[in-house]
Structure 1
């Protein structure tokens, strides 16, 4: 059955369509017979390469074999050129292409006080009008009431072209999407959104601390330690979601620890080893995250004569070898899971990479060599075995999200819906888990497999993780590689 229509198919009122077989109104007589309004519209909106002459454009016709052909190779009586610009593009019922309609709309919305688009907004206007599927841009503006208001405000100057002005607006996905467009196309400078989000999250946390001394300590800790570390990370690249969540967790536990001390009648400088042992031994394992604050306090000489108990690194969940093999088979053969998620899952299963790292891989970190597809996860290029390489190649060639103004030339191998950002880590992990591939357990099993085949020092260099982490997996696997030195060969003159 076709998608729901305004009208119900009624053979007693309208003739049957030769294409869909249903009886709808507003039909037209084409050489092949009666074609209903919906099939006419679908024919006008079908783009591709003509099966008869290889022309690329609108394909309204069907040849005797049922293949789609252009208007030059069939007798379908419709106009495919826009009556405004003359280009062969998707058009509305009045035969005006969506690009012309979108251009008119943008010119009107972004018109400044003098009637012209302000210079600072011209790159945004060009990007929206020039998007590969302009009908998507039209729908974005037409269906989201906030978009026209925001664009008019930017054009008139009621909303200053700055991050601060956008921050002052009620927070919404529309505002953040528009901010991403402005950054992507050079209208606003780039900033680390996770760094900003931490500051935004911290403000109400500080306001909730009633004790002036505790608040002063947390302000000092977050400003000179947590924020400083996040800024250092930001200089190397965008702060990851994991680092952002870890910063929030360290701050939350620091606040809880100080309140716990206060309930015992003590200030931080009065903290004893007995207090520290009571904190770590008297609650859940999450209390261990307070060690970051305590190490900082010891270094700042805010507390003396205490030792922070060593927190053993939990092994975490581990997928069975059977589930591991089944996960790989499912990723290679899955028929409904999006190709992007299959490619991410393959990188997880084969190379033990965290999802947070996989989604940030860039296109230039994949290459084709004489050995086949390779990926650079650490210091070296790593071969991707077949048939897994075929899945990743297909994804790279058909990356979603590139037909809008958000990511027209994204360098990311896994661009997300938000402009300039990768796919959301937790959304990807959730979809993989629902498909029977838990990220943490599968990653642990991948490393258990790999450390049985190569020294952890070699794997750490090749796959871009710390040697300590690689050795922890080796210990868990019971291998005897811990004393091996790195076996990486020196880079030769032909290496990249």
Structure 2
């Protein structure tokens, strides 16, 4: 006896879900979409279920729960892609063939159907570009209004090797600078252009591992300089005539972000364009106003190391923030190449030096590194194996990682990082802290001053450790 499922007229979402989750039919033994149950409750495929409908795709012959009465979803997607990506240029045709293979082979049919239907997807943007019948290049993308869709499409085309790799953070900044300079009068452009291109952009190019946050910080400084120059012009004051009083007025009548002008005025002073003008540092001068207390910090760390109900990404990222004071930007960019093993010890390179991980955290890091990358995302052969993968062979966006920590763990990354750095600065000299965690020496010195400790305490503790024949801590210090 066979009992068919009450399929009837199946809506598209249900049809796609059944098609993408095949079972082993109890009657014929083949792997096909489920359409019924036998008397023992075992799954049956469409042809074996007794359901009177067409199960055979007219185009490819696949047995499936068809979207229409004649074709499966994959064939409908293929027909629509062929119609949409029609072109005559031979190089563009080769590029669209790669995109076609991605959509039909790498992506599940339901996801491809969604992309084809959405007017706000990267595929809709790609369709507009293909209509011009010109090869896809970085320059053709640069001519379009810049935004999330352009950046996503650029990353995707780079990941499937249609476009060559390029430094998105710097290139996007160059385009933004061109647009900003086009809006400025000549007397501002003549100063702003060399500052933006020869100083800010040049420094960004030399930075290790450019990130969206680094590019955002660069734009903030350049925009701040442009606003300051515009403000001086409204007061009929030239940059060379600017005084400390002008700077103080500018700072007093705006948000603290205006203190980013410090970098610009340092640059102008070195070139003799201004006198020595003082701008307070934007960072906190004293003890941070909001850091986790030690009890809360250790409670959260214990949960990261022991709670299997938490997302593995949250457990690892949370532990790195709470134990080593790492920020989400640096954590998101970690890859499997940063992990090394020496016997039973596992090390994680946070900057230049490998840091010994506690056994519990080492296990979590290895488990995270062992997870397969998203199966439906294209990955060039030279792509790093990210510990926190995102889409299109990129790592997870740091802001999303910070939101996951806050949502799932209730962890404020900034407060937790401050608490960890205070604890580490109390035990480590500034030079060790800077090298170990990838901090600037000035930042390390500041945290050490906040911790109200000196290097003598650290050296004494190390001498005691060398002379004492005792076991390790529950959570070993990173240098031990």
| TM-score w.r.t. length of structure 1 | 0.73
Instruction: From the superposition, tell whether residues 177 and 77 of structure 1 become closer, same or farther in structure 2 (CA, over 3 Å).
Output: farther
Point out the more displaced range, 424-433 or 333-342. 333-342
Partner residue in 1 for 2:239: 268
Instruction: From the superposition, tell whether residues 324 and 82 of structure 1 become closer, same or farther in structure 2 (CA, over 3 Å).
Output: farther
1:28-39 aligned within 5 A? 31=2, 33-37=3-7
Report the CA distance between 1:473 and its aligned residue. Answer: 1.9
1:106-255 aligned within 5 A? 106-113=81-88, 118-131=93-106, 133-144=108-119, 150-155=125-130, 157-171=132-146, 173-203=148-178, 205-206=180-181, 209=184, 212-233=186-207, 236-237=208-209, 239-255=210-226
CA RMSD between the two structures: 4.3
Partner residue in 2 for 1:403: 376
- The answer to whether the Cα contact below 8 Å between 1:153 and 1:159 also exists between their aligned partners in 2 is no
Equivalent residue in structure 1 for 2:446, among 467, 472, 479: 472
1:64-103 aligned within 5 A? 99-103=74-78
Point out the more displaced range, 180-189 or 81-90. 81-90
- The answer to whether the Cα contact below 8 Å between 1:288 and 1:311 also exists between their aligned partners in 2 is yes
Equivalent residue in structure 2 for 1:354, among 315, 324, 327: 327
What is the DSSP-based 3-state SS (H/G/I as helix, E as strand, rest coil) of the residue aligned with 2:355?
Answer: strand
CA distance in 1, matches of 2:171, 2:144: 15
- The answer to whether the Cα contact below 8 Å between 1:448 and 1:473 also exists between their aligned partners in 2 is yes
CA distance in 2, matches of 1:287, 1:481: 36
Report the CA distance between 1:240 and its aligned residue. Answer: 1.5
Report the CA distance between 1:373 and its aligned residue. Answer: 4.6
Report the CA distance between 1:208 and its aligned residue. Answer: 5.0
Report the CA distance between 1:405 and its aligned residue. Answer: 4.0
Instruction: From the superposition, tell whether residues 125 and 41 of structure 1 become closer, same or farther in structure 2 (CA, over 3 Å).
Output: closer
Which runs of 5 or more structure 2 residues have no equivalent in the other structure? 463-480
1:272-421 aligned within 5 A? 272-276=243-247, 285-304=256-275, 306-308=276-278, 311=281, 313-314=283-284, 315-316=287-288, 317-332=290-305, 338-367=311-340, 370-371=343-344, 373-398=346-371, 401-405=374-378, 411-417=385-391, 419-421=392-394
- The answer to whether the Cα contact below 8 Å between 2:92 and 2:135 also exists between their aligned partners in 1 is no
What is the DSSP-based 3-state SS (H/G/I as helix, E as strand, rest coil) of the residue aligned with 1:364?
Answer: helix
CA distance in 1, matches of 2:343, 2:25: 34
Report the CA distance between 1:108 and its aligned residue. Answer: 3.9
Report the CA distance between 1:290 and its aligned residue. Answer: 1.2
Which runs of 5 or more structure 1 residues have no equivalent in the other structure? 1-29, 488-496
Report the CA distance between 1:292 and its aligned residue. Answer: 0.7
What is the DSSP-based 3-state SS (H/G/I as helix, E as strand, rest coil) of the residue aligned with 1:437?
Answer: coil
CA distance in 2, matches of 1:127, 1:178: 13
Report the CA distance between 1:258 and its aligned residue. Answer: 2.8
CA distance in 1, matches of 2:279, 2:85: 60
CA distance in 1, matches of 2:90, 2:226: 54
CA distance in 2, matches of 1:475, 1:64: 75
Report the CA distance between 1:213 and its aligned residue. Answer: 2.0
- The answer to whether the Cα contact below 8 Å between 2:118 and 2:124 also exists between their aligned partners in 1 is no
Report the CA distance between 1:47 and its aligned residue. Answer: 5.0
CA distance in 1, matches of 2:265, 2:233: 15
Equivalent residue in structure 1 for 2:455, among 440, 459, 481: 481
Instruction: From the superposition, tell whether residues 445 and 56 of structure 1 become closer, same or farther in structure 2 (CA, over 3 Å).
Output: farther
Equivalent residue in structure 1 for 2:418, among 427, 444, 448: 444
Instruction: From the superposition, tell whether residues 483 and 263 of structure 1 become closer, same or farther in structure 2 (CA, over 3 Å).
Output: farther
CA distance in 1, matches of 2:15, 2:277: 77
What is the DSSP-based 3-state SS (H/G/I as helix, E as strand, rest coil) of the residue aligned with 1:130?
Answer: helix
CA distance in 1, matches of 2:97, 2:15: 36
Instruction: From the superposition, tell whether residues 374 and 95 of structure 1 become closer, same or farther in structure 2 (CA, over 3 Å).
Output: farther
Partner residue in 2 for 1:23: none
CA distance in 1, matches of 2:131, 2:321: 48
What is the DSSP-based 3-state SS (H/G/I as helix, E as strand, rest coil) of the residue aligned with 1:374?
Answer: strand
Report Cα offsets for 1:102-127 as digits up to 9, x if no partner: 44444443343289972234333333
| TM-score w.r.t. length of structure 2 | 0.75
Partner residue in 2 for 1:14: none
Instruction: From the superposition, tell whether residues 104 and 220 of structure 1 become closer, same or farther in structure 2 (CA, over 3 Å).
Output: same
The aligned length equals 445
- The answer to whether the Cα contact below 8 Å between 1:366 and 1:375 also exists between their aligned partners in 2 is yes
Partner residue in 2 for 1:21: none
Partner residue in 2 for 1:19: none
Partner residue in 1 for 2:474: none
